[in-house]
Structure 1
Amino acid sequence: MALTVEKYEVTSVDRAEVLRYMGYAGQKLTDELDACIDEVVARCLDVARPAGSWEVFDVAGREPTKEDLPAVQLAGTSLQLVGESMKKHMAGAVAVGVMAVTAGMGIERELRRLSLTDPVAQVVFDAAGTATVERAADACEASIVATAAERGLYTNFRFSPGYGDMPLATQPVLLSTLDAQRRLGITLSKSLLMTPTKSVTAVIGLFAEPQPSSHASCADCLCRDFCRILRTGRPCWKR
């Protein structure tokens, strides 16, 4: 299929998620901080420009690397998903959705400004930016789930480089495969960290049969707000 680039409308984030990313553990919030959180989250959503690039590739093989590490090869690309984590996550997968998402440079610029002017607001804004890009990733995942459903396939959950033993060294080829620098403005440092920092890359397996982590209902699905399948009256888990 052709490379897909999308913009996402993220109009809200879960306040509890923002607090979690702030390291909140049940402490009493002052009225001042409580108001600051609402104000900063609103500002974050205002400057964010969430967008994503993704494509689904057939699995071409599962030959180990020269170092004898498990690997999944994707058709038409030089991208290999290496490691025991990928071996397990993609066991039985017939295709893989590959995605890159960013909340945009507006958040990056505001983080830099706040680092010089308001350290407390910076902490809140950083957490809000993380929550925002994760919502954008939910939207991108919803597009991949919809494509899987069109093919009569089921998905598992998204898995990012750096999790388990999936190496961060996957990043350059993954981003190149999605043309993410040109299409999304995502660049990599020498240490393989992305700019804008509020960016996410991930892979999702597509399977002929439902997986333990397949979407089993709409009620608690993180993709629900962005779901294209739900409009048809036949959700992805009811086929």
Structure 2
Amino acid sequence: MSVILTESIILPDFSRKEILRYAGCLNTSESIDALLDKCIERSRNCFAGKVCFGVFDLKIIGNVCDLGGMKIESADLSKNLADCDKAVIFGATVGVGIDRLIMKYSRIAPSEAVMYQAIGAERIESLCDAFCRKIGEEYGGTLKPRFSPGYGDLPLAVQRDIFSLLDCKKIGLSLNESLLMSPTKSVTAFVGIHK
């Protein structure tokens, strides 16, 4: 069994290009730029990047990934983790602040709510990318792409196992009966380490 760690991670600068992509803005304008500037400024202090994770020895037999205390049957996850001898299982969140802004502005300014959704998506992806870079530096080797419950044939119900294994509540992350995470801008995933 791996030791489960928690970390706070400083988020990189906002990526305007990615935020606009998540917002579905193919073209920009002065009004869109002004809206984005306003929403970034208002949300700047809403984010607290937190991660809980463990690094596990990995054995793959057929379509079964054996991670010590957790065995998962998934052809797609097995393919993603092929040639790896270790895998990171992690949960990450940027906190509830952005959820509050999305909820508030959904009622009073829907265009701002859309921009906050996009900012939140960019922030959680930035957090996951920063965490994976850190893992790559610490453990060496090549990291496989993140693979989350709900991708391919990996059931969303695997969320329950991840939450139980990592004790995600330590970073303020919870899972409801419908397998939806709160805060909403959160991720759980597997990342293979290939030496």
Q: With structure 2 as the length reference, what TM-score do the two structures score? A: 0.92
Matching residue of 2:105: 114
Match of 2:180 among 166, 181, 193: 193
Matching residue's letter, 1:139: A
Please, what is the CA RMSD of the aligned residues?
A: 1.6
Q: Which fold has the larger relative contact order, with Cα–Cα distance below 8 Å and residues 6 or more apart in sequence?
A: 2
Secondary structure in structure 1 of the residue aligned to 2:128? helix
Match of 2:130 among 127, 139, 143: 139
> 4+ runs of 1 displaced by more than 2 Å?
42-45, 61-64, 79-82
Higher Rg of the two aligned structures: 1
How many pairs are equivalent?
194
CA–CA separation in structure 1 for the residues paired with 2:71 and 2:40? 37
CA–CA separation in structure 1 for the residues paired with 2:146 and 2:181? 18
Match of 1:62 among 60, 63, 69: 60
Extract unaligned runs of 5+ from structure 2.
none
CA–CA separation in structure 2 for the residues paired with 1:121 and 1:128? 10
Q: CA deviation at 1:5?
A: 0.9
Extract unaligned runs of 5+ from structure 1.
65-69, 209-239
CA–CA separation in structure 1 for the residues paired with 2:41 and 2:5? 29
Q: CA deviation at 1:119?
A: 0.8
Q: How does 1:181-220 map to 2 (within 5 A)?
A: 181=169, 183-208=170-195
Q: CA deviation at 1:128?
A: 0.2
Matching residue's letter, 2:151: Y
Matching residue of 2:25: 24
Q: How does 1:1-239 map to 2 (within 5 A)?
A: 1-26=2-27, 28-29=28-29, 31-59=30-58, 61-63=59-61, 70-75=63-68, 77=69, 79-149=70-140, 153-181=141-169, 183-208=170-195
Matching residue's letter, 2:16: R
